[in-house]
Amino acid sequence: MSLIQGQSAPGFEAVTAAFADNFSEGHELGAQFALVRDGEVIVDLWAGHADRARTIPYGPDTLTPLFSTTKAVAALMVARLVDQGRLAYDQPVAEVWPDFAQAGKGAVTVAQALSHQAGLSGFVEAMDPALWFDWDAICAKLAAMAPLWPPGTASGYHPVTYGYLAGEIFRRVDGRTLGTALREDLAQPLDLDIWIGLPEAEHGRCADLQRPPALPDFGEINVPTKAAFLEPWSSPGGRGQAEWRRAEIPSANGHATALSLARLMGALAGDGRLDGQRILSPGQIAEMAQEQIRGPDLVLPLEMSWGAGVMRNGPLKPWGPGEATFGHSGWGGSCVFADPETGLAGAYVMNKQSAYLLGDPRPRRLIEAAYGGL
């Protein structure tokens, strides 16, 4: 059994026990889990190994690839522009990115693009998977693309393209890339070990991934699902791991520690402040988390409720009982959440990936134990 390191505050011992059970039952290789409540760190745990050969311990500063959990951070960065009055959710994307109006997309709003309603879940026509590493080329393809369904009529999860939509909207308004702004405005000033675009000097801290044993169950396969996940070019490839880590793909390739993510989400579960610095106004947190669309997703075989770039806890309740809870999950099992009703926020990262699309049992068990301690 892996030695559990870190600590849980009094009353949250069941979280440590659940974390230990995940390891003793063989569900983990390495993992971190952290909880913040009302700005205070109440759980910070880590255990296991950062490599598949089990020679390198998973430490408190091990960086883990987040996959789609990255989207919550990207949504926060866009929300900051709205909070500053530089962008509006109901504004057409084409107002800041004129080329985006092509192929009937002129009325698509920022909120619709962030809540997976734009009809751009992936590319239907064949392309080199290495093209994903060419930011301008992908943005030009998205701008020219005809939607795969009428925008605004349904959500259809955009697993990779979301990052280019959110990132290009951000860049057109701010002038910097989203990953650069994250580093300069939040990560460095607030000592957050969260990266979108990881410098080479940090690669040695990264956990190796153990891929899942099978593909997720996507249900009945349609054109939007196939484009999103199942084509040979649906995700970046062909350039090697180092270039993948260096790239800025705000939908998919964030790297972070659980503690830093939990601290950031803790601000969103509270008044928007982290260590005295305003991250977002309370009103902006509520606006980001407000439901934009709910119903059967065209890409995921699930009923989803989307805010402006964040998943809402209902109707599936992957992150405890809270109706107002929001966050995001990532391929393989990672997740972040913020519950404004209780002030609780948390993050789970790991390197042994599962095939669950949402609601991986490992973080579910940890979060249930956490709510038991409230």
Tokens 């892996």 correspond to 2
- CATH code for the domain in which residue 316 is found: 3.40.710.10
Is the pTM value of this prediction over 0.85?
yes
Q: Could you tell me which residues are beta bridge partners of residue 194? A: 256
Task: Write down the pLDDT at residue 69.
Answer: 98
Rg (CA), the chain: 19
Task: Write down the pLDDT at residue 2.
Answer: 72
Task: Write down the pLDDT at residue 215.
Answer: 86
Residue-wise DSSP of 22-34: HHHTT--SEEEEE
pLDDT tens digits, the chain, 374 residues: what are they?
Answer: 579 999 999 999 999 999 999 999 999 999 999 999 999 999 999 999 999 999 999 999 999 999 999 999 999 999 999 999 999 999 999 999 999 999 999 999 999 999 999 999 999 999 999 999 999 999 999 999 999 999 999 999 999 999 999 999 999 999 999 999 999 999 999 999 999 999 999 999 999 999 998 889 999 999 999 999 999 999 999 999 999 999 999 999 999 999 999 999 999 999 999 999 999 999 999 999 999 999 999 999 999 999 999 999 988 999 999 999 999 999 999 999 999 999 999 999 999 999 999 999 999 999 999 999 99
Task: Write down the pLDDT at residue 182.
Answer: 98
Through-space distance between the first and last CA atoms of the chain, rounded to whole angstroms: 28
Domain residues for 110? 5-372
Number of domains forming the structure of the chain: 1
Q: In what order do the strands lie in the sheet with 64-65?
A: 64-65, 254-256, 194-196
How distant, in Å, are the alpha carbons of 191, 268, 277 from that of 274?
11, 9, 5
CB-based contacts of 33: which residues, under 8 Å, 6+ apart?
Answer: 15, 19, 43, 45, 46, 258, 346, 347, 348, 363, 366
E-strand ranges in 38-156 read 40-48, 64-65
Q: Residue 273: what are its φ and ψ, rounded to 5°?
A: -105, 145
CB-based contacts of 169: which residues, under 8 Å, 6+ apart?
Answer: 78, 87, 93, 96, 97, 110, 113
Burial class (CB in 10 A: 0-12, 13-18, 19+), 290: middle
Task: Write down the pLDDT at residue 259.
Answer: 98
Task: Write down the pLDDT at residue 315.
Answer: 81
Q: Which residues are catalytic?
A: 68
Q: Could you tell me which residues are beta bridge partners of residue 144? A: none
Tokens 């309740």 correspond to 317
Task: Write down the pLDDT at residue 296.
Answer: 97
